[in-house]
Amino acid sequence: MLFFFGCIALLIAGYFIYGTFVDRIFGSDENRVTPAVAMADGIDYMVMPKWKLIFIQVLDIAGIGPIFGPILGALYGPVAMIWIVIGCIFGGAVHDYFSGMLSVRNNGASIPEVVGEYLGMPARQVMRLFSFVLLMLVGVVFVLSPAKLLNGLTGINTGLLVACIFGYYFLATILPIDKIIGRIYPLLGFLLLAMTTALFIALMFSSHQVLPDLSFSNMHPGEKPIWPLLFITISCSAISGFHSTQSPLMARCVENERQGRAVFYGSMIIEGIIGLIWCALGVSFYDNPQALSAVIAAGSPSAVVAEVSNSLLGSIGGGLAILAVIVLPITSGDTAFRSTRLIVAETFKMKQEAVSKRLIISVPLFVIGFIISTQNFSTIWRYFGFSNQCLSALVLWASAAYLAQRGKLHWIATLPAVFMTAVCVTFIANAKIGFGLGYDTSVIIGLIGAAVVFAIFLFKYVFSGKTAVETSA
């Protein structure tokens, strides 16, 4: 119990101490005019209250990651919670802060344009294609997964639910951001936080012991190695590249740069707390990792969500808890399609004030999305975890380049970038979906690969002596 609350305390302290440190290094300026003010269009660019921005950002970036990832991570034991704390404070929150604030400094640009601004045109073009594919996959999966969960909760035909969710996504993609997203997200965010907290309180007063085994050895029943798999498995609660595609949505609505720490860094800390709770539920509710693994194998992490929620809170409370989980993919799926619209618009330089311009982009996107939803793309989706963390590394490298070019302390972004590069290279070298090399060989390749990228970065951005003049960014 003390270990869990210690982890929560560290995350909160991380926001106030390290978050303030990061914000100071970046140099947020309350007197600088933000895109929400300078480029207000009543559609994507508009000032919104900070409390709304925080709720929207939390739901934008979450998806099912802070639930399913920690449940799967719980198979490793309490060591997973250490990764959530360290990864969130020094990796994910830094990543989210810079992806949001660099967008603010670049007129609310989407992440491919931000990365291209600091890493060059080749990186911009790769990011455009990469982000489009990633967001389309996320959007479609976040139609199918909530539809299946709702079917189990209500019994309504899955096909009908898919159609309804697609219809909602279409409206959320083309309407002004304050019409749907700005109105319902705060309510849904409150439901998520309330039910997540209720589950842990119920766990404390149940017959289950909170964190009964505090062994920090690898407890995974499948003997899967902690490095690099834990850092791929738990992404959204620690660090996730998908978040960088969502942060620009709120970067277009921030009234003052001083709000950035709360909106971007703070939202990631909230997600880390949600992840900690679900990881603790996974470790504590079941007698051992083998029992947890059996439930996951029989019905995926969603079966764990249903069993834990109904057991701890009863049928009504459990239903509300499950509904709060269903909210997550829906509130990330709609913004995934909205982000895709904006990335396409920026690529082809299409203004989005006119509804006809939004429809020109959105209609083909949803046709493509529907076609994808009818296909069996499970093999493609297995690359998502790897691709997601590659994206996080790339965004961190762009952030490090921004800082180095301005003579600022780039290490706050460089160190997590090196770490995530090592994770990604090791994973793809060792995984069956990659090169399938031996574990020891893959670890060596991962370390060498990260060292090479680090050396290139130092010679290009640090030792070259070139600095950027602080202008619009």
Residue 359 lies in a domain: yes
Residue partners of 367: CB distance under 8 A and separation at least 6 = none
CB-neighbour burial class of residue 342 (10 A; exposed 0-12, middle 13-18, buried 19+) = buried
As for how many domains the chain has, the answer is 1
Return the structure tokens found at 238.
């620690």
CATH number of the domain to which 187 belongs:
1.20.1740.10
The reply to whether 117 falls in a domain is yes
Structural domain contains residue 94: yes
Does a structural domain hold residue 406? no
Q: Can you tell me the distance from the alpha carbon of 226 to that of 47, in angstroms, rounded to the nearest whole number?
A: 43
Which amino acid does the sequence have at 209? Answer: Q
Q: What angle do CA 247, 119, 21 make, to 5 degrees?
A: 55
Domain for residue 420, yes or no?
no
* Encoded tokens for 265: 């860094």
The answer to whether residue 246 is domain-embedded is yes
Walk along the chain (473 residues) and give the pLDDT tens digit of each residue. 899 999 999 999 999 999 999 999 999 999 999 999 999 999 999 999 999 999 999 999 987 778 989 999 999 999 999 999 999 999 999 999 999 999 999 999 999 999 999 999 998 998 888 888 888 888 887 887 788 778 877 889 888 998 999 999 999 999 999 999 999 988 888 888 999 999 999 999 999 999 988 888 899 998 899 999 999 999 989 999 999 999 999 999 999 999 999 999 999 999 999 999 999 999 999 988 999 999 998 877 888 998 999 999 998 888 888 888 888 888 888 999 999 999 999 999 999 999 999 999 999 999 988 888 777 655 555 677 888 899 999 999 999 999 999 999 999 999 999 999 999 999 999 998 899 999 999 999 999 999 999 999 999 999 986 666 544 45
Residue 87: both structure tokens together: 């990864």
Contact predicate 245/339, CB 8 Å: yes
**For position 468, what pLDDT does the model report?**
60
- CA-CA distance, 55 to 447, in Å (whole number)? 38
Contacts for 215 with CB less than 8 Å, ≥ 6 apart: 77, 78
Task: Tell me what pLDDT residue 471 has.
Answer: 45
- Over the stretch 362-376, which tens digit does the pLDDT of each residue have? 999 999 888 887 776
pLDDT tens digits, 256-304: 999 999 999 999 999 999 999 999 999 999 988 999 999 998 877 888 9
**Domain residue limits at 158:** 2-383
In a domain, 457, yes or no: no
**d(C-alpha 188, C-alpha 121), whole Å:** 39
pLDDT reported for residue 472: 47
Per-residue confidence (pLDDT) for residue 381, from 0 to 100: 59
